[in-house]
Amino acid sequence: MNRRLVVALVSCVAVGGSLAPAASAATDDAWVHQIGTYDYLTSPDYDGLASIHSASKGTTQGLGTFDRLDGEMVMVGGQMFRVGTDGTPVRIDGSQSTPFFEAVRFAPTDAGPVAPGTTCANLLSAVNALVGSDQGIAAVRVRGTFSDITFRSVPAQTAPYLPLAQVVTTQTLFPLGRQRAVLVGFRTGPDLAGTGAPGLHLHGLTVDRKAGGHVISCVAGSDVQVSVQRTSGIVVQGAAQ
């Protein structure tokens, strides 16, 4: 099945690149619950498909965006935030519409230290080593003190939409230097290409909740830890329930 068609379906599961009924996900907390797909965004289409809370029940960690790409969404410890182009996280209730959202009830299956000086660009190999595979989807949390970290957000778009690669050229960067922060997101393997963002996709918040957004770059300090969760697959929906 063409992954572009996934967004037209409600309550289906992507496992290893295939789709199947999601009945088993109702009793399994290890499923990633998702609205829309990365292919949908890059088509490009930024119109909201469903409300965040239609897929977030029971989840504690996640990321996404909002209708028309109006800000970055971060979920940490079950609390949801929107980070607009002012860089300030604001608590939200989940009623907002989203074209792309991923969340899971985070229960780490493995964890380990990140070597000081490791950059965000080099975190992927550490995550794959903990997961034991570069396939499927894994939930990821990275937290500690970063010697240098930069977040970003993008402004709301208007139709007809520009390609995502062009949109990010208008991003607002928030270089924050040394910060204690928590970064959350997902590692999507090549077998699920187009379902989630390829590789490691992280959003984050500083521990004081004064700054955050999509993670552009980071350098790990001496106390950074990475935790991963091997998931059962993805429950994808593309319409409000």
The full DSSP string for 45-83 is: -----EETHHHHTT--EEEEE-GGG-SEEEEETTEEEEE
Q: Confirm whether 36 is domain-assigned.
A: yes
Q: What is the pLDDT of residues 102-138, one digit of tens each?
A: 999 999 999 999 999 999 999 999 999 999 999 999 9
Position 238 scores a pLDDT of: 78
Confirm if 73 and 101 have CB atoms less than 8 A apart: yes
Count of domains in the chain?
A: 2
On whether both 120 and 99 belong to a single domain, the answer is no
On whether both 134 and 212 belong to a single domain, the answer is yes
Position 23 scores a pLDDT of: 46
Q: What is the CATH number of the domain that holds 90?
A: 3.30.1330.80
On whether both 45 and 129 belong to a single domain, the answer is no
On whether both 7 and 39 belong to a single domain, the answer is yes
Q: Which amino acid is at 111?
A: A
On whether both 95 and 117 belong to a single domain, the answer is no
On whether both 28 and 67 belong to a single domain, the answer is yes
Query: What gap in Å lies between CA 145 and CA 53, rounded to an integer?
Result: 31
Q: Confirm whether 175 is domain-assigned.
A: yes
Query: What gap in Å lies between CA 114 and CA 181, rounded to an integer?
Result: 14
Position 28 scores a pLDDT of: 64
**Burial label, 54 (beta-carbon count in 10 A; 0-12, 13-18, 19+):** buried
On whether both 46 and 76 belong to a single domain, the answer is yes
On whether both 87 and 119 belong to a single domain, the answer is no
Q: Confirm whether 190 is domain-assigned.
A: yes
Domain that holds residue 36: 3-106+232-237
Q: Confirm whether 160 is domain-assigned.
A: no
On whether both 116 and 201 belong to a single domain, the answer is yes
Position 29 scores a pLDDT of: 83
Q: Confirm whether 60 is domain-assigned.
A: yes
Q: Confirm whether 121 is domain-assigned.
A: yes
Q: Confirm whether 164 is domain-assigned.
A: no
Q: Confirm whether 114 is domain-assigned.
A: yes
On whether both 114 and 184 belong to a single domain, the answer is yes
Measured from the Cβ of residue 67, the count of other Cβ atoms closer than 10 Å reads 17
On whether both 70 and 119 belong to a single domain, the answer is no
Q: What is the pLDDT of residues 33-45, one digit of tens each?
A: 999 999 999 999 9
Question: pLDDT below 70 — which residues of the chain?
Answer: 1-28, 239-241
Q: What angle do CA 223, 229, 234 make, to 5 degrees?
A: 140
On whether both 224 and 121 belong to a single domain, the answer is yes
